[in-house]
Chain A
Amino acid sequence: KAGVTQTPRYLIKTRGQQVTLSCSPISGHRSVSWYQQTPGQGLQFLFEYFSETQRNKGNFPGRFSGRQFSNSRSEMNVSTLELGDSALYLCATGTGRDTEAFFGQGTRLTVV
């Protein structure tokens, strides 16, 4: 079956702009989590959505937000971009009933 699909794969944005990233889960998966990966901070949890509700949230400022649609697809939005937001953003999807998750290939965001 199809894996986790993240779009776009690469993005270049200017400071102050906003950006929206998309994650389409594996069919049947209702849980979607987002992670930020940087060389300095490693992999950090942003938030998790399950059945259109945010279930958990990490320690990121309010500029980072997300949502999940009825088909389980999720979007992540970052407003007022800063240089430090440059990172690989990964989403992981799962059934929500166990702890196994499958990751997408990520969106590489560069803020200039």
Chain B
Amino acid sequence: GNSVTQMEGPVTLSEEAFLTINCTYTATGYPSLFWYVQYPGEGLQLLLKATKADDKGSNKGFEATYRKETTSFHLEKGSVQVSDSAVYFCALSNTGNQFYFGTGTSLTVIP
């Protein structure tokens, strides 16, 4: 079946620190992989995506590489800002509009 395992939080970092949030997946076929971000009281916003092995998704300084050999899609950012404080969800989709989400990782960045 399809599932996503995501690093447990919460994560607290100082501004300008390096961020890694681990994500591994189990899937049938060749899924697309996503990172979504959720700010308090809001829905999910697409942060980045990758649709095939070795693709690198990037946006707003965040990056993640689709690693088929390790079934991973870890999120990284070189220097976090206070405005990056949010909950981050790793997700996969095999077809259409059906997503499988990880449990979410809460990130707090302190000045």
Give Cα A88–Cα B51 distance, bound, in whole angstroms. 28
Question: A42-B101, A42-B104 are known contacts. Are A106 and B43 too (CB-CB below 8 A)?
Answer: yes
Question: A100-B46, A103-B45 are known contacts. Are A92 and B99 too (CB-CB below 8 A)?
Answer: yes
Q: Is the CB of A94 within 8 A of B99?
A: no
Size bracket, chain A contacts: 20 to 34
Q: Does B69 contact A (CB under 8 A)?
A: no
- The secondary structure that dominates the A interface is strand
Tell which of B8-16, B74-82, B89-97 binds the partner.
Answer: B89-97
Give Cα A105–Cα B99 distance, bound, in whole angstroms. 17
Q: Is the CB of B99 within 8 A of A33?
A: yes
**Could you say which of A32, A43, A105 contacts B42, with CB atoms under 8 Å apart?**
A105
What are 21 of the A-B contact pairs (CB < 8 Å)?
A: A4-B43, A6-B43, A33-B99, A35-B99, A42-B102, A42-B103, A43-B99, A45-B98, A48-B96, A48-B97, A48-B98, A50-B96, A50-B97, A55-B96, A56-B98, A90-B44, A92-B99, A99-B51, A101-B46, A103-B36, A106-B42
B: residues with CB less than 8 A from A are 31-32, 36, 42-46, 49, 51, 89, 93-104
